[in-house]
Homo-oligomer: A and B are copies of this chain.
Amino acid sequence: MTYKNLFDHISSKKSYLCVGLDTDIRKIPSHLLSEPDPVFAFNKQIIDATVDYCVSYKPNIAFYEAMGGKGWESLQKTMEYIPDSHFTIADAKRGDIGNTSGLYARTFFDPSSSGLNFDAVTVAPYMGSDSVLPFLEFENKWVILLALTSNSGGADFQRLEIDGKPLYEQVLAKSQEWAGADRMMYVVGATQARDIAHIRTIIPDHFLLVPGVGAQGGNLEEVSRFGMNSHCGLLINASRSIIYASNGTDFAQKAQNEAKSIQQEMAVYLDKYCVQ
């Protein structure tokens, strides 16, 4: 998917919502457990319920891998079910030496390899350029690089200062020098809006994937005010607050209500802060 495709979709939907498919078989409504593939049955209904209110889906790969080969099947069926219009993110936090990252890239980007065809994959920056570049060799595919994460351990290393600048800023700056950096996005935790404002001064144009609105406690208005650029530049992820809005038979309806409510708030912020 191109930058323009994504922005056009955001503009027409008036939404920059990404729905995180962190589907845990231990948490889905019990009436689905008799289905042949409960995880896919759940995802299918979640997708049907939210597809009009979001522009992106982000399966968290750990939840599928934890179920082994069966989990990979559920993931494949889910990916086939998501319409092409939606930007798909493999939240995998991969990153290894070049030839190995090349195989992870094939895993998520090359359907003739693993059967999966994501638009983007999240990548950890610790191993540097040659761990990231193989992902960018795939045309119209995106890397979403970890920059500043919202978890408690995020500060252990990401905020350590090097020549007066925290590590996450070094990651932002250095990665801009890499080939294909125009197809890079960044994971930026939403817990502190002032960080987002600061990050915007370093990378004004790139999209930020912002988790932490919802279960992790970020603030949608602040993130939008400080993070939005003239092409929106934000994908806000919500997972548990949407997909587990109810654990009864009404789970899809409740998920839809939640997604719709976020989308309606987003429409306001797009009018207000996404100024050409």
Please list the residues of chain A having a beta carbon within 8 angstroms of any beta carbon in chain B. Answer: 22, 24, 60, 62-63, 65-73, 76, 91, 93-98, 100-101, 103-104, 106-107, 113-116, 124-132, 146, 149-158, 160-162, 167, 170-171, 174
Contacts and interface: CB of A to CB of B under 8 A. Distances in A.
B127 A151 contact: yes
B146 A106 contact: no
A152 B94 CA distance: 17
* A interface majority secondary structure: helix
B62 A115 contact: no
User: What is the oligomeric copy number?
Assistant: 2
A167 B174 contact: no
A171 B158 CA distance: 11
19 contacts: A65-B114, A66-B104, A66-B114, A68-B72, A68-B107, A68-B114, A68-B116, A69-B70, A91-B96, A93-B94, A125-B126, A125-B157, A126-B158, A127-B149, A128-B157, A156-B174, A157-B171, A162-B167, A167-B167
B153 A63 contact: no
A69 B66 contact: no
Nearest to A130: B153
Contacts of A131: 151, 153
